[in-house]
Amino acid sequence: MSTHLTERPFGRALCAMVTPFGPDGELDLDAAAKLAAGLVAEGCDGLVLNGTTGESPTTSDAEKEALIRAVREAVGPGPALVAGVGTADTRHTVELARQAEAAGADGVLVIPPYYSKPPQAAVEAHFLRVADATGLPVMLYDIPGRTATRIEPETMIRLAEHPRIVAVKDCAYDLLGTTKVLARTGLAYYSGCEELNLPLYAVGGSGYVSTVANVAPRPLRAVLDAYDRGETAEAARLNALNLPLAELMMASGLPGAVTVKALLGMTLREPLQPAGREATDGLRAAYEDLVQSYT
């Protein structure tokens, strides 16, 4: 049986949920409620709302709040709802965190301020301000490829001393640094990169926050289930089955929101544009192959 170094404050299998829009581009709360309920029914322990996959740069604060409330009502009190509240402005991030708490979120996902490239002391101060602003647990989001700023391991270790900073969504591609932080803190590490779901889990991670889970929640969860049963070879086999779709969805040059919505037939907001026919056909073929492999 697997042994993990940390608790799982939000469960193991989290989906970074897309935000449905109607044909006119307006927020479709009915579709969001239906999608959220379906994802939970298919094995997602929790949902991350208003993240980049949810096209948060193009949704208003009011839309973010309405989405949390609609999904909370749809899924009930059990599944964890983590709200993305990251912005480049500390004050605005604090406002969004307080809004998310009032709307019924169970936690907040916070990135380092992007573009301005603050030094580590400023990054640390930013996270502490947000953590002090509400009673919600905080998941730090380390994704320097998007923000241009790393949360360095030593900064993580210091931040872990705050009682409400409990988890990390890890997209830093630094398994050595991650393992060091796991060894020295109680932070729950969630993979934010599908190809690292199993490797991170094997060194003590808590699970994943997945964009691919919008369309393949059960195959992704099956990998963790096999590992927890002690069936490591089976976990590796199932993981390999998932990778072709994950690669097309996350490493083909298209944003995850675009590839998910190509498979779900959903509307995007500009500046994102729909996937072309060739890309969409490839995604559908990979998805059908994955479904076939599990039947």
Q: Which of 114, 117, 169, 201 is catalytic?
A: 169
- Structure tokens given for 65: 């709040």
Which DSSP letter does residue 214 get?
Answer: G
Which of 181, 134, 190, 141 is CA-nearest to residue 158? 181
Annotated catalytic residue 201:
no
3-state secondary structure of 179: helix
* Given the residues 64, 141, 189, 287, the one annotated as active site: 141
Residue in 173, 187, 128 with CA at minimum distance from that of residue 4: 187
CA distances (Å), origin 9, targets 106, 131, 165, 255: 10, 16, 11, 28
Say how far apart CA 146 and CA 141 lie, in whole Å: 10
Residue 64 falls in the annotated catalytic set: no
Q: Catalytic residue positions? A: 141, 169
